[in-house]
Amino acid sequence: MLDAATIAAIADELAEADRTHGVIPRITARYPDATVEDSYAIQGVWRDRMIADGRRLVGRKIGLTSRAMQQATGITEPDYGVMFDDTVWQSGAVIPHDAFSNVRIEVELAFVLNAPLEGPDCSLFDVLRATEYVTPALEVLNSHIELEGRTIVDTISDNAAYGGMVLGGIPMRPDQIDLRWVSALLYRNETIEETGVAAGVLNHPATGVAWLANKVHQHGDRLEAGEIILAGSFTRPMWVSPGDSVLCDYGPMGTITCSFR
């Protein structure tokens, strides 16, 4: 495992890359023995520094929960990151492309909690009971570590490649809709690029939230009431360039739009 000084130094590199919208060399190329626990330790140091600087945590994101995403990245283990208040947009937003090192869009569902969730034995049914509503969401992926050859250690260290979130559509309680069958059509510049069904996330998107509650318990944490949880993408990531417009149609759950300048 990496020592505390090395973990702190990598967290510093990532904080600077976030500030300058830059990209650093792969951690695993420089520290091939780094472990998944090292990567969560790096993320934790970075997170605590962001909070100390005044940013407010509003939720967590889960990644790599669907076969589509696992095949796209070559990584088979889910991961998680944190989301801050200054990374959340509403449908219709115009988002500055140069605020990121690179931009990809994923299609997700966001769970908004009205009660805490705590492991180690959190289940899908616990998640549904603790959820106030579920709403469509797009995740903006952003990497501060070079993409070629990344492993899960690199991705987790980089806050699970989270860049931002766009919320929209029609919020629904979990008992109003079968969440497994929520489907989405993702368009870029009026051309359809991706389609998916939410059951692609571990057979039910709430399963991803249960996984997260159990995983953060291992790190001495829990999910709190009021947190927004991105349950994981059920499409492959879609690259976005400056000037692009994005629309995602969730059928009965409405639409999300955004554009990048």
- Tens-place pLDDT, residues 89-143: 999 999 999 999 999 999 999 999 999 999 999 999 999 999 999 999 999 999 9
Q: Which two tokens mark 159?
A: 């806050």
Q: Which two tokens mark 16?
A: 């600077």
- What's the CA gap between 236 and 31, in Å, rounded? 29
- What's the CA gap between 74 and 62, in Å, rounded? 16
Nearest to 136 by CA among 239, 259, 257, 223: 257
- Given pLDDT bands bounded at 50, 70 and 90, which one contains residue 66? confident
Element (H, E) at 40: helix 36-52
- Given pLDDT bands bounded at 50, 70 and 90, which one contains residue 77? confident
To the nearest whole percent, how much of the chain has pLDDT over 70? 98
| 4-260 carries CATH number 3.90.850.10 | yes
Average pLDDT over residues 33-57: 96
pLDDT at 7: 98
Q: E-strand spans in the chain?
A: 57-63, 79-84, 88-90, 93-95, 104-113, 131-141, 162-167, 183-188, 191-197, 228-230, 238-239, 245-249, 255-260
pLDDT digits (tens, 9 = 90+) for 147-204: 999 899 999 999 999 999 999 999 999 999 999 999 999 999 999 999 999 999 999 9
Q: E-strand spans in 25-150?
A: 57-63, 79-84, 88-90, 93-95, 104-113, 131-141
Cβ contacts of 123 within 8 Å, gap of 6 or more: 210
**Which SS3 state, helix, strand or coil, does residue 204 take?**
coil
Domains in the chain: boundaries: 4-260
- The CA-CA-CA angle for residues 101, 104, 109, to 5°, reads 130
pLDDT at 27 over 80: yes
Total residues belonging to the chain: 261
Average pLDDT over residues 74-91: 91
Longest dimension (CA), the chain: 51
Exposure letters 66-75 (e unless 16+ CB within 10 A, then b): bebbeebbeb
pLDDT at 144 over 70: yes
Average pLDDT over residues 29-48: 97
DSSP 8: H
pLDDT at 67 over 80: no
Q: Give the global pTM.
A: 0.95
- Given pLDDT bands bounded at 50, 70 and 90, which one contains residue 72? low
Mean pLDDT score of the chain, rounded to an integer? 95
